[in-house]
Amino acid sequence: MTKKSLLTRTILVAGIFLLVASGFDAALAAAPVSGAAPVARVLMVDLRRVMALSKVGQDIQKQVADLKHQAQAELSGEGQALQRDRAALEQQAAILAPDVKARKARDFDARVAAFQKKLQQRGGLIQGGVLKAQQQVEQALGPVLQGIMQERRATVLLDRSAVLLAPNAIDVTGDVIRRLDMKMPTAKVVLTPLPQGVAQQQAAEEQ
């Protein structure tokens, strides 16, 4: 998993469990106080599988693939032109005057930098769209998890990726996927700028 996908996943997981925790705190506040300590009933969900296997998760993946293919089709011509110009510049290198060669090299490097920036901007828009769609999934998934916890009288809900050992935990991933499929089978991925904080962190990681 890349740092970018890990960052997006961390944001999604944190948001979901904040929603679940808010509902669970209210249930605890309303519960009667007794002398005996409550018995923990632990549930576990694999959010990675939920996003990979649910209808909405697969819908998001397909839209992302389509957006990448669209970007490739739109920008491939410019990329191929740069490759041809690089080859021509290398062929002319031996016969160009030093100052002309240096100027052409600077101009070409500027074009390459502009093209790379264009690629990064399109990639950022796709990532921003994915993040926004995942936030919509988060809003739908929170009540699903809360409902399952209440039905099973659970006291703890864990993400499998954060668990080293939990032999008594009950895996409810399949139930979560089924309920999410019924509640939210699709989510539109729209090109969206990344939030400033996320964009800045990614820029810092790439340096």
| 166 occurs within a structural domain | yes
| 121 occurs within a structural domain | no
| 78 occurs within a structural domain | no
Name the residue with tokens 């599988």.
Answer: 49
Range of the domain at 174: 3-32+40-67+126-206
Rounded mean pLDDT of the chain? 84
Alpha helices in 44-172 (DSSP H): 47-53, 55-92, 98-151
Residue 185 pLDDT greater than 70, yes or no: yes
pLDDT higher for 135 or 10?
Answer: 135
Per-residue model confidence (pLDDT) at position 14: 46
Rounded average pLDDT over 126-154 = 95
CA distances from 132 to 54, 103, 127, 159, 195 (A): 17, 43, 9, 21, 10
pLDDT tier for residue 198 given thresholds of 50, 70 and 90:
confident
| 89 occurs within a structural domain | no
> What total number of domains does the chain contain?
1
Residue 142 pLDDT greater than 50, yes or no: yes
Candidates 17, 19, 26; CA nearest to 45 is 17
CA distances from 148 to 94, 134, 140, 201 (A): 72, 20, 13, 35
pLDDT digits (tens, 9 = 90+) for 69-86: 999 999 999 999 999 999
| 98 occurs within a structural domain | no
| 44 occurs within a structural domain | yes
Candidates 24, 9, 11; CA nearest to 147 is 24
